[in-house]
């Protein structure tokens, strides 16, 4: 059994330079973004992952509330073999059990030679499987969603580039599957199919443009997250027929998935101008992303308080973002893209923000116009 450590096996620039693989990754991501249900997303993951790896069979497992992996999709196996599969837990010695335990890719290059081959006996006897790779689907913030497995009738390890791409597939799949598994609230804004396709196209263009520059990978991922933040703000505005947006919904859309005991929101019901909703959505997205990477939300004890109120004299909403309990704060030595973005929003008159880098936690004050000149 091999625990696959990508950084020890492959120079990522080799995969980045492979146009066919990166084109496949772009196509996979486009399909995922367009998937409007968990079932459709699972179909995309199983079909595209088996095709990527050149496998004979495949399975996608999702992690349940008992921290066990259960098959949600299978490819190539008989219904009887899928039904006979048992839930996988951390104590199991299978590839997916070890990958679950190690939170890393695992390969079994020859099942017949494995010391614990008894757990593979049905696969060997009924399907002729001889090797397996298991890749955990882990979100960018470290949440394990499930496992992506590929089964082969041949022995040996998959090519290193394929294993790297499987890891990239799994990361993208984790983000989408987690979102689709979360129960939607009746008032949650959703993106229209046309907008989903447009976003997929924009993201695909960005990836293709920077395909030959592997050092830009982190920037592309940051762009993807910002694009998603803008899309969420648009969905809120679109829900109100583009006449304005409820500020609570704008904020909640950007902080979806955060523990309510760690991120407290407080303020009156207000409808803000559409342009302000876009600007405020982007600012809250940047604040949340920074808090998760470096600020209060990067450690368990950290907390964030988001408060807002209307100022009738100016016709603006004043929002205060306050972090506490996180790592000690120091003013940044250089201006990042997020700071430049917020500065440009202010120059455009959409919203303005002031940052106070207190040692005990960042405080940011944001001001944006309220919809309706007569407020």
Q: Tell me which residue has tokens 């409808």.
A: 271
Mention every residue, 6+ apart, whose C-beta is less than 8 A from residue 48: 24, 27, 28, 31, 169
Find residue 362's DSSP bridge partners: 357
Supply φ then ψ for residue 128, to 5 degrees: 70, 25
pLDDT in tens, 153-202: 999 999 988 898 898 889 889 988 988 887 544 444 455 555 555 556 55
Q: What's the mean per-residue pLDDT of the chain?
A: 79
Q: What is the pLDDT of residues 300-354, one digit of tens each?
A: 899 999 999 988 788 888 999 999 999 999 888 776 666 666 766 665 667 788 9
Ordered by where they begin, the domains of the chain are: 2-181 (3.30.450.40), 194-369 (3.30.565.10)
Gyration radius from the chain CA atoms:
23
DSSP3 helix / strand / coil % (the chain, rounded to 5): 45, 20, 30
How far apart are alpha carbons 292 and 364 in whole angstroms? 15
Closest-CA residue to 351 (of 291, 292, 272, 295): 272
* Cβ 310 vs Cβ 317: under 8 Å: yes
Q: Looking at residue 66, what is its pLDDT? A: 79
Q: What is the pLDDT of residues 206-230, one digit of tens each?
A: 555 555 555 555 555 666 666 666 6
> What's the whole-number mean pLDDT along residues 266-284?
83
CA distance 66 to 64: 5
**Cα distance between residue 90 and residue 136, in whole Å:** 13
Contact between 54 and 220 (Cβ < 8 Å): no
Q: What is the pLDDT of residue 58?
A: 96
User: Cβ contacts of residue 357 below 8 Å, gap of 6+?
Assistant: 329, 330, 331, 332
- Residue holding tokens 């304005």? 244
Dist CA 252 CA 257 (whole Å): 9
Residue 134, token pair as written in the block: 């298991």
Strand order in the sheet with 105-108: 2-4, 105-108, 131-138, 144-152, 57-63, 69-75
Helix (H, G, I), strand (E, B) or coil at 361: strand
- Amino acid 328: pLDDT: 93
- For 237-266, give the DSSP string: HHHTTTS-EEHHHHHHHHSTTS-TTTEEEE
pTM of the model: 0.51
pLDDT tens for each residue of 133-154: 999 999 877 889 999 999 999 9
């Amino acid at each position: 059994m091999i625990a696959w450590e990508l950084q020890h096996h492959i120079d990522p620039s080799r995969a980045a330079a492979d146009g066919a693989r990166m084109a496949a990754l772009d196509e996979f991501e486009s399909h995922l973004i367009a998937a409007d249900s968990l079932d459709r997303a699972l179909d995309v993951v199983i079909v595209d992952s088996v095709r990527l790896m050149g496998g004979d069979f495949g399975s996608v497992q999702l992690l349940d509330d008992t921290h066990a992996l259960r098959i949600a999709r299978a490819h190539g196996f008989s219904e009887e073999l899928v039904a006979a599969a048992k839930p996988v837990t951390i104590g199991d010695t299978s590839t997916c059990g070890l990958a679950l335990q190690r939170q890393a890719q695992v390969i079994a290059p020859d099942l017949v030679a494995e010391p614990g081959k008894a757990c593979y006996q049905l696969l060997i006897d009924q399907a002729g499987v001889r090797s397996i790779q298991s890749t955990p689907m882990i979100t960018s913030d470290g949440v394990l969603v499930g496992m992506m497995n590929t089964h082969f009738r041949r022995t040996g390890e998959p090519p290193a580039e394929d294993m790297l791409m499987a890891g990239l597939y799994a990361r993208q799949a984790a983000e989408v599957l987690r979102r689709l598994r979360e129960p939607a609230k009746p008032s949650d804004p959703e993106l229209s199919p046309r907008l989903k396709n447009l976003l997929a196209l924009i993201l695909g263009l960005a990836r293709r443009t920077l395909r030959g520059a592997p050092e830009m990978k982190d920037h592309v991922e940051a762009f993807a997250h910002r694009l998603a933040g803008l899309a969420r703000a648009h969905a809120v505005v679109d829900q109100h027929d583009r006449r304005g947006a409820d500020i609570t919904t704008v904020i909640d859309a950007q902080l979806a998935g955060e523990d309510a005991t760690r991120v407290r929101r407080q303020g009156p019901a207000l409808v803000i101008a559409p342009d302000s909703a876009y600007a405020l959505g982007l600012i809250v997205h940047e604040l949340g992303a920074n808090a998760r990477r470096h600020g209060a939300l990067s450690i368990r004890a950290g907390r964030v308080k988001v408060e807002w109120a209307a100022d009738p004299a100016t016709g603006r909403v004043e929002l205060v973002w306050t972090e506490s309990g996180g790592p000690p704060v120091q003013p940044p030595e250089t201006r990042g893209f997020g700071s430049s973005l917020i500065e440009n929003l202010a120059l455009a008159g959409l919203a303005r923000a002031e940052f106070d880098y207190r040692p005990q936690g960042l405080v940011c004050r944001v001001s944006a116009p309220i919809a309706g000149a007569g407020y």
